[in-house]
Amino acid sequence: MADARSARAGFGAVTALLAAIGTGWILFLMALICADVLSRWLLNAPILGVAEMVQFSIVGIVFLQLPQTLRVGGLTRADVLFARIQSRAPRVACVMQLAYDLIGAALFAIILITTWPLAEQAFANREFYGSTGVVQIPTGPLKAIIILGCAALVVQFSLLAWRDLRIALGCARPAVSAVGD
């Protein structure tokens, strides 16, 4: 079924884009902290709000990056026993993998649904990191990034599950690599 494959490949462009933003963000974070250190040291004038920016950034970076990390098989797992099952009983392994991917999709769907009202609240009440009058970094956009990341994770887990299902049913041949396309 070429549609599913192209859907996976097409979605790969989405996860890659999100990941690229997260990746560039790391470099920006490094530059920001260095600027703060230099300015504090040389000009005796720290940049306000850097600590809050770090707090904000790390969550953003992780949720932008997670879908791509899942896609390329970078999520931590113990695959010693699993690899053995895979070589002896590939179909069984495939059904197990299907269950893992479905559970992953369900958990991130729950996070998405539960975070949604938090995001609405954050935008409505103009919630922020930092202290009033000094630095205020709004949390609303961050919640939006978390929701975006969770949505991408749900889609990516589902695409992987669809692939597992087709292999388990014998409609498709197992991919040689674990990469999601």
Partner 1 sequence: MTDATIIGLASIGVMLALIYAGMYVGVALMLLSFVGVWIIRGDVGIAANLLALAANDAISDYVFGVVPLFVLMGLLVSAADIGKDTFEVAHQIFRRVRGGLGIATVAANAVFAAITGISIASAAVFTKVAVPEMLRYGHTPRFAVGVVAGSSVLGMLIPPSLLLILYGVLTEKSIGDLFIAGIIPGIVLAVAYCAGILAMGRFWPAFVGGGAVADEARALMSAGEMAAKMLPVVLLVALVLGGLYGGVFTPTEAGAVGAAGALALALVKRRLDWRGLWKVLVETAHITAAICFLIISASLYSRMLAVSGVTELLRTLIVDSGLGFGGLLAIYVAVILLLGTILDSSSIMLITIPLVLPALVAFGTDLVWFGIVTLLAVEIGLLTPPFGIAVFVIRATLGNDSPITLNDIFAGAAPFAAIMFLMLLAVIAFPRLATALL
Residues that bind partner 1 (CB under 8 A): 19, 22-24, 26-27, 29-31, 33-34, 36-37, 41, 51, 54-59, 61-62, 65-66, 68-69, 72, 74-82, 85, 93, 96-97, 100, 103-104, 107, 110-111, 113-115, 118, 143, 146, 150
- Minimal distance, residue 67 CB to partner 1, in Å: 9
Closest of 13, 15, 25 to residue 60, by C-alpha: 25
Shortest distance in whole angstroms from residue 77 CB to partner 1: 5
- Rounded Cα distance between 56 and 34, Å, is 17
Nearer to partner 1, 2 or 177 (CB): 177
Residue (of 68, 143, 151) closest to 105 by Cα position: 151
Please identify, using beta-carbon distances, which residue of 1 and 106 lies nearer to partner 1. Answer: 106
- Distance between CA 150 and CA 24 in Å, rounded? 20
Least Å distance, CB 95 to partner 1, is 12
Cβ closest to partner 1, residue 41 vs residue 91: 41
Q: What's the CA gap between 67 and 16, in Å, rounded?
A: 9
- Could you tell me how far CA 150 lies from the centroid of its own chain? 7
